[in-house]
Amino acid sequence: MAIFDHDHWWLHFITHIILVLMPLMLLAILINKLISLMRQTLLLRRESRQSGNPLYHPRIPQSLSIFIKKYTLRKQLLLAGGAILTLPITFAILELPKLIINNAIDSDNYLLNKTAMSLSQIEYLLVLCGFYLMALIANGVLKFVLNYYKGCVAEGLIKRLRLLIFRRQRGQRGVNKSDFLAPVILQEVEPICAFSGDAVAVPVLQGGTALTIIGFMLLQNVALGAAVIALLPVQIIIIPIFQRRINKLVRHRLRKVRRLSKLLASEQNRPAHLAQKPIRTAFHALYVLRIQLFKTKFIMKSLNNFIMNLTPFFFYTVGGYLVIEGKLSLGALVASLASYKDLASAIRELFTYYQSLQDARTRYTEMLTYTEQPTYPQVIKAQFEMHHYP
C-alpha cells in the first residue's frame, strides 16, 4: 500500500481494517438505511393519499413525521437553511488556527507577498485572529438564533397537539375520559413535540458539522480521515439493538403509568387497608421498569463512549507512524486530534437525535392508541374487507 510501505504486520492489519473493511461496512449500512428510508417515504405518501378515504379520517396524523411536516414544514425549512449557514463558519473555525500557526506565527513560512496588503508579520497575525474571533461570534449568534427558533417551533406544536387531543375528547359523545387524558395532555405531549424543533435542524447541523470535520481531516491526510469513520459501522449496528429494548420498556412504562392513574382514581373510595396492596404492587412494577430502563441506557451509553474514545487509538497508531516516517506533519496530527473533539460531539448529538426520534415515535404511537385513533392494522384490515368482501 502506498501510504504504508513498512513491513510491520500489525500496521498492515490495522490499515486494512481502517481503509478497506470499515468503509465497506459503512457503505453497506448506508445503502440499507437509504432503502429503508425510501420505503418509509412511500408508506407516508400512501398514507397521505388515503386521507380522502371514508375509512380514514383521523384528526391527528397516524405518523409523527406527517404530523411534524403538516404543521411545521416551512419552519423546518428555515431551520435547515440556518443550519446550512453554520457549515462554512465551522470550516473557517477549523482552518484559521492552522493558518495562524503555519503562516503567521511561524516566521519561516511567513511570506509577505502572499497577503493582499503589505502587512507586517504581527499585523497579519492580528488580521487572522480578528477573522477567527468574527467566526466564533457569528457561530455563537447563529446557533443561539437556531436554538431559540427550535424552542418556539416545539412549543407551538405542543399547544396544537394538546388542542387536537382535547377537541377529540370533547367530540366523543357518551365518553368521559377527561380525567384519564389529563396525564396525556399535560405530560406525554411535551416530550413528543419537544423533538419537533430538532427534527430537521439537528441532522442537518450535526451531520453537516461531522462531514465538514471529516472533509477537513481528509485534506490533512487520507488515512486520518478514514480512521475517523472506522468505528462508525460498529456504532450504527450496536446502538439500534439497545434502542429497540429501550423503546419496549418505554411503552410498558407508559401503559403502567396510565393504569396506575386509573387505579388511584378507583381506589380513593375504598378502605385504606384494601387499597394499599394494589397501589404498592403498581409502584413496585414502575420501580422495576425504571431500573431496567436505566441499566439499558447506561450500558448503551458506556459502549458508545468506549467506541468514541477508542478512535484516538487509530490516530496515535496510524498518525504517529506517518509522523515518524515523515509523511505527515506533527501540526496536522495535532490539528486532527483537536478537531476530533468537535467531531465526537457532533456524532454524539446525532446518536442522541436518533434516540430522541425513537422515543418520540414510541410515545406518539402509544398516545394515538390510548386516544382511540385508528392504527395502521385497523385501516389495512378495513380496506381489505371493503375490497374483497363487497
**Using CA atoms, how far apart are residues 11 and 33, in angstroms rounded to an integer?**
32
Confirm whether 33 is domain-assigned. Answer: no
Which structural domain, as residue segments, surrounds residue 108? 62-388
Confirm whether 240 is domain-assigned. Answer: yes
What pLDDT, on a 0 to 100 scale, did the predictor assign at position 389? 35
Q: Residue 125: name the closest of 109, 137, 140, 141 by CA.
A: 109
Q: Which helix (H) or strand (E) holds 31?
A: helix 22-49
CA quadruple 73, 78, 79, 81: dihedral sign: positive
Confirm whether 277 is domain-assigned. Answer: yes
Confirm whether 43 is domain-assigned. Answer: no
**Using CA atoms, how far apart are residues 271 and 388, in angstroms rounded to an integer?**
55
**Using CA atoms, how far apart are residues 197 and 194, in angstroms rounded to an integer?**
6
Q: What is the pLDDT of residues 14-27, one digit of tens each?
A: 666 666 777 777 77
Identify the band that residue 134 occupies on the pLDDT scale cut at 50, 70 and 90.
very high
Determine the length of the chain. Answer: 390
Confirm whether 238 is domain-assigned. Answer: yes
What would the grid cell of residue 127 be?
488580521
Q: What is the pLDDT of residues 247-282, one digit of tens each?
A: 888 888 888 887 887 777 776 666 655 556 777 788
Number of domains composing the chain: 1
**Using CA atoms, how far apart are residues 343 and 340, in angstroms rounded to an integer?**
5
What's this model's pTM, rounded to 2 decimal places? 0.66
- Domain with 214 in it: what CATH number? 1.20.1560.10
Confirm whether 243 is domain-assigned. Answer: yes
What would the grid cell of residue 48 be?
397521505
Confirm whether 360 is domain-assigned. Answer: yes
Q: How far is CA 219 from CA 123, 138, 269, 355, 365, in A?
A: 28, 24, 72, 32, 45
Identify the band that residue 133 occupies on the pLDDT scale cut at 50, 70 and 90.
very high
Q: Residue 374: name the closest of 52, 160, 57, 162 by CA.
A: 57
**338 pLDDT exceeds 50?**
yes
256-278: b (≥16 Cβ within 10 Å) or e? bbbebbebeeebeeeeeeebeee
Q: What is the pLDDT of residues 288-317, one digit of tens each?
A: 888 988 888 888 888 888 887 777 777 777
SS3 content of the chain, % helix, strand, coil (to 5): 85, 0, 15
What pLDDT, on a 0 to 100 scale, did the predictor assign at position 66? 84
Q: Which helix (H) or strand (E) holds 199?
A: none
Confirm whether 237 is domain-assigned. Answer: yes
